[in-house]
Amino acid sequence: MPRSRPTRRARAAAVAVGVLLTALGAAAPALAVTGTYPSGGGRHGSAAVGGERVVCTSGTPGLAPTLSRDIADAFQGRKDTPALALYDASTQTSCRFRADAAYDSASVVKVTVLGALLRQAQEAHRPLTDREGQLATAMITRSDNAATSKLWRQVGPDGIRHFLTLAGMTHTVPGDGPSWGLTQITADDQLTLMRLLTHDNEVLGPGARSYALRLMGHVAPDQRWGAPAGHPADATAQVKNGWLPRTTDGWRVHSVAAFTGGGHDYGLAVLSRGNPTMDYGIATIEAASRVIHRDLGAATT
């Protein structure tokens, strides 16, 4: 699909949030953690990007080496610092690159806030209120920061941490006080969240998962860049992006997405920091996303 760019208003809002978050406090220190993915039938691929490696496994012969090489090529020579995690249930494929590194979340944390809100309502055996539904819709489809702040306060630190524990997102560290955009996330944990939303589990029921995916499937057109770039025409892309400029280490630009329907069942998380501009980060994410969609598509056809 063609890439659409954020509006000037969205960019200005991101800069304003970046200034506010910097003033509210420094980000938590980076974490070193390990994610777990299926073995993929013992078929492996690995390719170097600088001093680190893209590592893939797959149940489809030849797919892991192809993916690892193409993802590495997409990241090669970029000025930013990306991280990536991928799963594809259909081919039993996974890929990881710096997937245990911690990043400021920016707006991708809004999916976690939504998950925590839905879990609270589920535990209380009630639907979302009209107000909660309006705030959740604004938070996800328009990336509305004011709506996010209201739900962040309502769910509360204990509610956020409770959901993270249940979801197995054990390396996500909520931002202090109102600083939801400085939550520390990893690509591994974001991919865990995408799987949680698309597969049966005991944390979120079918109705809650369907609701979250429906909102992610209807984000504003100017925010549908990133991981959906080049996705199969018969797949439904459910996406949430984040972008945040800070005074140190440049722009944080992230994209997390789940792809379902038409026989597709995969998720992708691409995080980046150190971007000189927002567009530079988008270009990094979309270069990797395009080769992933292409390679998975070739493997299944």
251 forms beta bridges with 245, 275
Q: What pLDDT is attached to residue 301?
A: 77
- Residue 18, φ and ψ in degrees, nearest 5: -60, -45
- Residue 186 CA to residue 190 CA, distance in Å, equals 6
Q: What pLDDT is attached to residue 66?
A: 97
Tens-digit pLDDT profile for the chain (301 aa)? 333 455 544 454 454 444 334 333 333 332 222 333 344 444 999 999 999 999 999 999 999 999 999 999 999 999 999 999 999 999 999 999 999 999 999 999 999 999 999 999 999 999 999 999 999 999 999 999 999 999 999 999 999 999 999 999 999 999 999 999 999 999 999 999 999 999 999 999 999 999 999 999 999 999 999 999 999 999 999 999 999 999 999 999 999 999 999 999 999 999 999 999 999 999 999 999 999 999 999 998 7
Burial class of residue 160, CB neighbours in 10 A (0-12, 13-18, 19+): buried
pTM value > 0.85: yes
Question: Is residue 256 within 8 Å of 24, Cβ to Cβ?
Answer: no
- Residue 106 CA to residue 93 CA, distance in Å, equals 28
What single letter denotes the amino acid at residue 113? V
Angle in degrees, CA 171, 93, 66, rounded to 5: 115
Q: What pLDDT is attached to residue 51?
A: 92
Q: What pLDDT is attached to residue 41?
A: 46
